[in-house]
Amino acid sequence: MSVRHFVGDQSVANTPDQDRGLAYGDGLFETMRAHDGDVHWWPAHWRRLERGAHALGIALPDRARVRHEAQALLDGAGGVLKLIVTRGVGGRGYAPFDAISPHWIVSRHDAPPAAPADGLTLRWCDTRLAVQPALAGIKHCNRLEQVLARAEWRDADVDEGLMRSTEGDVVSATAANLFVLHDGRWTTPAVDRCGIAGVCREWAIDALQAREARLAVTEVEAAEAVFLCNAARGILPVARLGARVWRPHPQVAQLRRRLAAEHPAFATEVA
């Protein structure tokens, strides 16, 4: 892992004291798959970052400068590039005014493991996602719900956990979006009340002409096929959810091949 910090357009050595990201989670992040020194889905990641910055009233650093620093850090390699943008230092207590220079951090990490060929094993999480339309969809840094949900199991045989909202709708996995197939039609949970509008989710909605809707637990368990996705790992077939078992589905395999053809980082993962 290597990391660089900036405040506005200035390079700095560390997280500044009184950074609002540390105090309140007052920031946004993107986790991006890199390949050959660049981020293939950069435009989509930046668009989501802009939506989040608009929702929170956070000033973004210069886009070209961020991409330049990201490429410098990648230095021709791949892996995962993480970008955090906090509101920076300033304001009085919660009041965010006068915190004008964002603190931003780029860091490079190893690529995550490829999707297991035989599919993921999932569980249901007890921790719920609170319904909060003002924060839904954006990838902000208030992530205690995901931390609590992911802390529910240490069993290495369980790969991910599905989360419901406090109202009972299925929303997503702790760190991936969810798609389910019924009667030839793909559905992914709407993220207008809670959850994150993932960049790979956006790609898959377009690729599958999927619909966004509220989704019940029974609709997941009755699905003909299920996959998870995120921008770091791509399309992740699901094989098990508790006692429910799914066989590999040709539509999921086809989608993985399509992603491999469009996104160079995933090309090597599909034989």
Comparison of 31 and 187: residue with beta carbon closer to a copy of itself:
31
User: What pairing do the DSSP bridges indicate for beta strands 160-164 and 120-124?
Assistant: parallel
Tell me which amino acid residue 264 is.
P
Comparison of 29 and 46: residue with beta carbon closer to a copy of itself:
29
Q: Which residues contact 251 (CB under 8 A, 6 or more apart)?
A: 181, 186, 225
User: What pairing do the DSSP bridges indicate for beta strands 225-230 and 177-182?
Assistant: antiparallel
Comparison of 141 and 204: residue with beta carbon closer to a copy of itself:
141
Confirm or reject binding of residue 144 to a copy of itself (CB under 8 A): yes
Confirm or reject binding of residue 210 to a copy of itself (CB under 8 A): no
CA distance 74 to 13: 19
Three-class DSSP category at 34: strand
In our burial notation (b when 16+ CB lie closer than 10 A, e otherwise), range 32-68 reads bbbbeebbbbbebbbebbeebbeebebebbeeeebbe
Number of residues in contact with a copy of itself under rule CB under 8 A: 52
Confirm or reject binding of residue 14 to a copy of itself (CB under 8 A): yes
The residue from 37, 51, 121, 148 that contacts a copy of itself (CB under 8 A) is: 148
User: What would the 3-class secondary structure string for 116-175 be?
Assistant: CCCCEEEEECCCCECCCCCCCECCECCCHHHHHHHCCCCCCCCCEEEEEECCCCEEEECC
CA distance 141 to 147: 11
User: Binding segment for a copy of itself among 18-26, 198-206, 212-220, 236-244 (CB under 8 A)?
Assistant: 18-26
CB contact at 8 A, 81 and 32: yes
The residue from 72, 77, 117, 151 that contacts a copy of itself (CB under 8 A) is: 151
Comparison of 76 and 93: residue with beta carbon closer to a copy of itself:
93
The residue from 29, 104, 203, 266 that contacts a copy of itself (CB under 8 A) is: 29
Site for a copy of itself in 62-101 (CB under 8 A): 84, 86-87, 93-97
Confirm or reject binding of residue 21 to a copy of itself (CB under 8 A): yes
Shortest Cβ 95–a copy of itself spacing (Å): 5
CA distance 52 to 47: 9
Q: Mask of contacts with a copy of itself, 158-177, x by CB under 8 A?
A: --------x-------xx--
User: What pairing do the DSSP bridges indicate for beta strands 225-230 and 234-241?
Assistant: antiparallel
Comparison of 3 and 72: residue with beta carbon closer to a copy of itself:
3
**At residue 201, what are phi and psi to the nearest 5 degrees?**
-55, -45
The residue from 33, 108, 123, 150 that contacts a copy of itself (CB under 8 A) is: 150
Confirm or reject binding of residue 197 to a copy of itself (CB under 8 A): no
Shortest Cβ 91–a copy of itself spacing (Å): 8
List contacts with a copy of itself (CB under 8 A): 1, 3, 13-15, 17-27, 29, 56-57, 84, 86-87, 93-97, 105, 107, 127-128, 130-132, 134-135, 140-151, 154, 166, 174-175
